[in-house]
Every structure is written in structure tokens, then in C-alpha cells.
Amino acid sequence: MAAFVLPAVLVVAALLVGPMLLLARISLNRYSATDLMVEALSPQNYLAAVADPYYRGVMGTTLAVALLCTGLTLALGFPAAYRLARMESRWKSLVTVMTLIPLLVGNVVRAAGWMGLIGNDGLINAGLQATGLVSGPVRLIYTPGAVVVGTMAVVLPYMILTLASVIESIPRSLEEAAANLGAPALTVFRRVVWPLALPGTVAGCVLVFILCMNTYATAVLLGGPQFKMMAPAVYDQFSKGMNWPFGAALAFILLGATLALTVLGTALLGRRYAR
């Protein structure tokens, strides 16, 4: 068995654990305008990031976007996943593949396309102005709404496919039994489908939340220069500011926040329905 697992372990160790350790070490170094990075062992970068209102705001925006996207994706994804899971016809596999197709388009390409759609000279504004409903362009791009909707478009397939496989594992007869005992559709959902789908729902939400927390291309291209989320902020420190230690500290704060919320959410929901 070990021989089968070993290659994957090596890849993870070489490409994830190694760089992470390196990054952790860098985050404790000191930045100097002349030497860029000076060996040190201090929590200074973390303290500075946490104390800085600007980065607190960036983190707040990131959390708000990620939580909102996760919630909305769940609300939109559950009905679609339910429908997909309960499909019996030969169309089922086709619909499953169609759900996957958006994943074939890279985030940058997709966001660029959105720019053409919702930009001030984009298709929607051109259409609106042609009908004479508005005189000037309606601001759609470079708004938080554009980032939320754009991010949701990226993560929705993950949510739907995760939920669909969970709902599929709930026998239809359980819903029929509940209906037979007098439960209307909404009660069947609340008392049978939702609690049984919960572990998978948590998994889907965790997956989507992590993706949203780390959203980059969508945030940059649809949010514009004024809109800052954590992943672009980290990148800026490395590429533009050349401040590797601070960038590394920001990266670990992002990782820590994501991890903390994931663990907290899982524990809360898990405890509620654990028996």
C-alpha cells in the first residue's frame, strides 16, 4: 500500500509543505527598503498587519464576500443539486457534464468576459442605452456586487456537484415515507432531506468558502483598483512592494482566518445534528 501512497505524499511534501515552511520562515523576517529582506525572528509583520486599519478592512471585505458568496451559492445550488440528484431520465449525465463545463473556462478568461458584459461600454450598458431607459452608463463593473456575482459563477458548479452526490445518497423512499406520514413538501425538506444532507452541505460550503476566500482574478478584474481582497493584497506585497516578509505574514493570516472559520463552522453544524 505504501508504494501507492508514496508518490502523492512526496508531491504534497515537495510542493506544499516545503514552500509553506519556507513562507512561514520568511514571514518572521524583517523588511528593509535597501536590503529588502533581513534575517530576523519577530512577530512584527503579523502585529503590523493586524493593527493596520487598511488590512483589517481588506480582511473584512474578504470575509464578507466569502461568507455572502457561500451563503448565496448554497441557496442557489441546493435546489439545482436536488433537481439534478433526483433526475431519472437519460438527460442526467448530460446535465451533470453541463454543470462541469463552466469549470473548463479559467477564472481570468471568465472575468475578462464579464468585463465585456458589464463594463461601462459593455453589452448590458449598450443595450440599456439603446432602449433609452438610461442616459449614461449604469455602474455595474468595479462594484462589490460584480465581485460577488462573478465569484459565485466560479464556485457554483463545485457546490452543485458536491450537494448532488450527497442528495443522491438519500433514498427517495425516505421522502416518500415522510410524505406518506403527512408531511408537506417543505416539512419533508426540513425534517428529512436537510438534516441528512447536512454533512455534505458542510463539505460543500467549506470547499466554496475556501475558494471564495482566495479569489484573485475575479476580485482584481471585476472589483477594480479600489476594491481589495486578501489574495490580491498578498500578491501586491510580493510583486509590487517587494515586501516578502509582510506578504508572507498576510498569506498566513488569510490561511489562519480561513482555517479558523472552517473549523468553527464545521464544529457548530456538526454538533447540532450529531447524535
Partner 1 sequence: MGTLVLEGLSKRYGAATAVDRVDLAVAEGELVALLGPSGCGKTTTLRAVAGFVEPSAGRVLIGGRDVTRLPAHARDTGMVFQSYALFPHMSVAGNVGFGLEMRRVGRAERDARIREALRLVRLDHLADRLPRQLSGGQQQRVALARALVVGPAVFLLDEPLSNLDAKLRQEVGLEIRALQKRLGLTTLMVTHDQDEALAMADRLVVMEHGRVLQVGSAEDLYERPASPFVAGFVGRCNLLPGRVEAPGLFRTEGGGALPCGPAPAGPGILALRPERIALAAGPDGPGVPARLSALTYLGALTEYHLDLGTGALVAVAPTPPPEDPRRRLRPGDPVRAEWTPASARVLPPEAPTGESR
List residues binding partner 1 (CB under 8 A).
Answer: 171, 173-174, 176-185, 187-188, 191-192, 195-196, 273, 275
Strand, coil or helix: 36: strand
Of 155, 148, 153, 158, the residue nearest 61 (C-alpha): 148
Least distance to partner 1 from the beta carbon of 163, Å?
Answer: 17
Least distance to partner 1 from the beta carbon of 184, Å?
Answer: 5
41: cell is 525572528
Kindly calculate the radius of gyration of the chain based on its CA atoms and give it in whole angstroms: 23
Strand, coil or helix: 32: strand
Task: Report the residue number, 76 or 183, with the smaller CB distance to partner 1.
Answer: 183
Least distance to partner 1 from the beta carbon of 272, Å?
Answer: 12
Task: Report the residue number, 9 or 174, with the smaller CB distance to partner 1.
Answer: 174
Least distance to partner 1 from the beta carbon of 80, Å?
Answer: 23
Task: Report the residue number, 53 or 182, with the smaller CB distance to partner 1.
Answer: 182
Cα(17)–Cα(10) distance, rounded to whole angstroms?
A: 10
CB atoms within 10 A of CB 104: 7
Least distance to partner 1 from the beta carbon of 198, Å?
Answer: 9
Compute CA distances 215 → 15, 19, 176, whole Å: 21, 20, 41
Q: Which residues contact 153 (CB under 8 A, 6 or more apart)?
A: 102, 110, 114
Task: Report the residue number, 154 or 202, with the smaller CB distance to partner 1.
Answer: 202
Q: The cell 481588506 sits on which residue? A: 58
Task: Report the residue number, 116 or 171, with the smaller CB distance to partner 1.
Answer: 171
